[in-house]
């Protein structure tokens, strides 16, 4: 089982879009794919049409009010083959206050996922934009971090903040977390977009994916319609870019090694 977290401490950069797009493409390869919605705003759950709330969500893994629930008891089927969702709920906002300082709370999600390691081939975790117990859990549970980064000047500050937080988390987990920066909402016609991409490549080199996700209004249309990209053929440019990104990620040596060791 591979686990990828999708995170950036800036909102609106394409985290949820990237999680659903990659997840739907991996599921279409016939791999059992679990999308974990770690954002209390539950936009991924809403996108896929799955309600958390009273029926249970990531919140229940933490056992804040009693015993902790298992991943299996919280996973929902979706309308798409091989694609499953562990939804979010608004209650997750209170987790930092309730369990944030309790010892061992950083590994809750990692341990919960370990119990279903044989049930899923791929897990994708959509993170909230805030650094707290949810983000810490997501990064501790993952073997790769994807950082969608909007190709505009202001986005670079958010990226740097995210990478600083990651450094902190790596020190506490005692081993590095391989990362891939994914340029998103690229518009080749604007100077700002081109300059930003150039700066990203200059500053971060190979950590930046070769695949660049273009601004494609069909991506917005697909999410408004609640349809994952793999099932929305009109998003030709966006779909192609996400396919290229997936190919690149699945070929990465670190992941090949992780799979061989599993
Ligand atoms: N490549 C893209 N082209 C056009 N619109 C996009 C693209 N990626 C995301 N969007 C839209 O931008 C908005 C924010 O994206 P989202 O994935 O929700 O960001 P985040 O999860 O980082 O807050 C959504 O309305 C989404 O449909
Ligand atoms: Mg989001």
How many Cβ atoms from other residues are within 10 Å of residue 200's Cβ?
21
Q: What is the pLDDT of residues 175-191, one digit of tens each?
A: 899 999 999 999 999 99
pLDDT at 262: 43
Confidence band for 154, pLDDT divided at 50, 70 and 90? confident
* Ligand 1 center to 173 CA (angstroms): 30
Instruction: Determine which residue's CA is closest to atom 9 belonging to ligand 1.
Output: 14
Q: Determine the residue of 213, 220, 244 to mutate for testing ligand 1's pocket, defined as the one with the most ligand atoms within 8 A of the Cβ atom.
A: 220
Task: Name the residue among 250, 221, 249 with its Cα closest to residue 233.
Answer: 221
Confidence band for 168, pLDDT divided at 50, 70 and 90? confident
pLDDT at 261: 47
Closest ligand 1 atom to residue 20 Cα is 17
Answer whether 165's CB lies under 8 Å from 9's CB.
Answer: yes
Does ligand 1 have an atom closer than 6 angstroms to the CB of 246?
A: no
Overall average pLDDT of the 114-119 stretch: 97
Distance separating the N- and C-terminal Cα atoms of the chain: 8
* Ligand 1 center to 17 CA (angstroms): 6
Domain ranges of the chain: 2-252
Does ligand 1 have an atom closer than 6 angstroms to the CB of 180?
A: no
Overall average pLDDT of the 13-26 stretch: 97
Confidence band for 258, pLDDT divided at 50, 70 and 90? low
Highest mean pLDDT among 51-60, 143-152, 249-258: 143-152
Report the top-level CATH class of 2-252. Answer: alpha beta
Overall average pLDDT of the 81-96 stretch: 96
C-alpha distance from residue 24 to each of 30, 187, 194, 227, 245 (Å):
10, 24, 29, 10, 13
pLDDT at 180: 97
Q: What is the pTM of this model?
A: 0.95
pLDDT at 257: 47
Overall average pLDDT of the 93-105 stretch: 88
Task: Name the residue among 135, 129, 139, 150 with its Cα closest to residue 10.
Answer: 129
Task: Tell me: pLDDT of 235 over 90.
Answer: yes
Instruction: Determine which residue's CA is closest to atom 5 belonging to ligand 1.
Output: 220
pLDDT at 254: 58
Closest ligand 1 atom to residue 184 Cα is 1
- Dist CA 122 CA 155 (whole Å): 28
Is 187 exposed, middle or buried, given 0-12, 13-18 or 19+ CB atoms closer than 10 A?
Answer: middle
* Ligand 1 center to 13 CA (angstroms): 6
pLDDT at 101: 79
Average pLDDT of the chain is: 92
């Amino acid at each position: 089982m591979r686990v990828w977290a999708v995170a950036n401490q800036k909102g609106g950069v394409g985290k949820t879009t990237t999680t659903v797009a990659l997840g739907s493409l991996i599921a279409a390869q016939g791999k059992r794919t679990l999308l974990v919605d770690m954002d209390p705003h539950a936009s991924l759950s809403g996108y896929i049409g799955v309600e958390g709330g009273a029926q249970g969500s990531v919140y229940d893994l933490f056992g804040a009010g009693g015993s902790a629930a298992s991943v299996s008891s919280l996973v929902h089927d979706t309308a798409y083959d091989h694609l499953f969702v562990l939804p979010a709920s608004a209650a997750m906002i209170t987790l930092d206050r309730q369990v944030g300082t309790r010892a061992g709370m950083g590994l809750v999600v990692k341990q919960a996922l370990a119990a279903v390691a044989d049930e899923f081939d791929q897990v994708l975790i959509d993170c909230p934009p805030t650094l707290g117990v949810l983000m810490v859990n997501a990064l501790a549970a993952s073997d790769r971090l994807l950082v969608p980064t909007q190709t505009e000047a202001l986005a670079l500050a958010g990226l740097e903040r995210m990478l600083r937080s990651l450094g902190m988390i790596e020190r506490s987990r005692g081993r590095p977390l391989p990362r891939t920066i994914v340029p998103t909402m690229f518009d080749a016609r604007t100077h700002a977009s081109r300059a930003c991409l150039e700066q990203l490549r200059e500053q971060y080199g190979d950590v930046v994916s070769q695949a660049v996700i273009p601004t494609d209004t069909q991506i917005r249309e697909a999410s408004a319609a609640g349809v994952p990209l793999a099932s929305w053929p009109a998003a030709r440019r966006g779909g192609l870019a996400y396919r290229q990104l997936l190919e690149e990620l699945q070929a990465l040596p670190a992941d090949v090694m992780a799979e061989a060791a599993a």
